[in-house]
Amino acid sequence: MELILLPKKSEGLSLEKIYQRALSRSKELYIVSAYLTEWGIKEELGSQCESFLFIVGKDFGITRKSACRAVMEWLPTDRHQEFMVAESINGFHPKAMFWRELDGKCYALLGSSNLTQAAFSTNFEANGFACITDEQFELASKWIEKVFEVSVTLNETWLDRYQEARQPARANDSKTDNLKETKEAYHLPLPAISALKGYKPFLAQRRDQMKAFRRNRTELEALFRTTSRARLWNETRIDDFYYKLSALWYFGEDGSRFQGKGWERKGRNSDFRELSKSLVRVLDAPFAGRDRVVIQEINRLTVMGLPTRSSLFSEMLCQFFPKHYYVLNGPVRDWFASLDIAFPRGLSKGERYVNRARLLRAALKRADNYPAENLAELDCIIWFASTLSA
C-alpha cells in the first residue's frame, strides 16, 4: 500500500492522478463519499467504464446542492441514473473508491480526504492507495451492492426536497450547532398493514408462485437465451416460444405467474426474440450496471412498440430479480399516482420505472417488521390494498 499524506509538496503520487487513472482506465468503478461539498474533477469518465456508481450521503445536511449539480453537469447524460444518494442510511460515512481496470487488476483508494480542493491540497489528510486482490474487490462490490439497494437516484427532484444544513453566519459559530439528523427527501409510505385485513392468504399464494418460478427458472432462462439467438423469426418460432412459455409460466394452481390473463390478447404475436434479447442483456449485466441496462431495454422495446414490454417483460424482471424490480401493472401505477411523489420532467419510460423501483427498494429496507420481504411480495400487498379501495 502507498500512503498519500497531505499536504504534500513533492511531485509523486497525488489524489488527482489517482482519480484521473480510475476514470480513464476502469472497467468497473465505484465511488462512495459520506458527503459532497465540492466537485472539481475535470477528467471525464471514460467510455471504457462499463459499470459505474457514485453514491453520496446526506447525513446532517452537509452535502451541498451546488456540488451535486456540478456532478450532474460533469456526468454524461446517460450516466445520470448512476449518481445516487444513500437515502435510507443514517450513519453513512465512507470515503473510498474501488475499481477494476481493463487488464483485470483491481485497486482501492481509502482515507480521510473528501472530494474538495482543500482535501486534495492544503488539508492535513491521510489516504491509502493499493492494488487489491479479486477476492477483496468482490467483497467491496458486495458491500457497495448493499448500499446501492437502499439508495435512490440523486436528481433535481431529490435536491428540491433535500434540506441543506445552515452554514455558520460568523467565523466563531460552531458548525455542529447547525447539524441535525436529516429525514429522507423521499419518504415513501407503504400500505398500512393494520388496514389490510385478510392479506395473509394472498401473500402466501404469492410466495408459492415464487417457489414455482424458481423450480422452472433454469428452463425459462434457457428458453429466453435460445430465443434471443434465433436467426429467423416467423409464425412457427412464435408458436413454439408461446407454448413453451405457457407450459413453464402460467396462472392458476401450482403456477408461477403473478398476473391474470390479459397480455395474450395483445402480445400473442409479439416479437419475443427482441424481448428475449432485452431480458438476456439484463440477466448478464453486473449489479451496478443492471439498472442502466433495464432503462436502455425498456426504452428500446418502447421505441419498437412491443406490446409485451410492460406486462411480460416487467414480470420477468420481478421474477428473476424480486428484490430489485416490480411488475408494471395498474395497481402499482395507481398507488404511485396517489402519493406525493414527483419526478423530473422528460424522464424516459425506462428511467421512470427504475426511479420507482429504487424508491420501493429503499422504502422496504427502511420499514421495520413489514411482511413483504421483496418487491414481488410488495406488489401483492399493493394489489390487495387496491381491491379494498376499489
Give me the DSSP letters along 314-381.
HHHHHHH-TTT-----HHHHHHHHTSS----TT--HHHHHHHHHHHHHHHHHHSTT-S--SHHHHHHH
Q: How many domains does the chain have?
A: 2
Q: Are residues 153 and 298 in the same domain?
A: no
User: E strands along the chain, which residues?
Assistant: 2-6, 26-33, 51-56, 83-85, 95-101, 106-111, 125-132, 152-153
User: Residue 45's domain is classified under what CATH number?
Assistant: 3.30.870.10
34 neighbors 92 (Cβ within 8 angstroms): yes
pLDDT of residue 262: 62
Residue 187 pLDDT greater than 60, yes or no: yes
The answer to whether residue 178 is domain-embedded is no
The answer to whether residue 93 is domain-embedded is yes
The answer to whether residue 383 is domain-embedded is yes
The answer to whether residue 309 is domain-embedded is yes
The answer to whether residue 359 is domain-embedded is yes
pLDDT of residue 9: 56
- CB atoms near residue 133 (< 10 Å): 10
For 353, the domain range is 193-389
What pTM, to 2 d.p., does this model score? 0.84
Quick one: average pLDDT of 116-132?
80
The answer to whether residue 384 is domain-embedded is yes
Q: Are residues 99 and 134 in the same domain?
A: yes
pLDDT of residue 16: 82
Q: Are residues 101 and 46 in the same domain?
A: yes
347 neighbors 355 (Cβ within 8 angstroms): yes
| Dihedral class, residue 347 (left if φ above 0, else alpha if ψ from -120 to 50, else beta) | beta
The answer to whether residue 293 is domain-embedded is yes
Residue positions counted in the chain:
390
Closest residue by Cα to residue 288 from 239, 312, 324, 260: 324
8-31 per-position pLDDT tens digit: 655 567 888 888 999 999 999 999
244 neighbors 230 (Cβ within 8 angstroms): no
Query: Cell 436502455 maps to which residue?
Result: 296
Closest residue by Cα to residue 372 from 146, 213, 203, 211: 203
Q: Are residues 162 and 308 in the same domain?
A: no
pLDDT of residue 171: 45
Portion of the chain with pLDDT greater than 90, in percent: 57
Q: Are residues 213 and 320 in the same domain?
A: yes
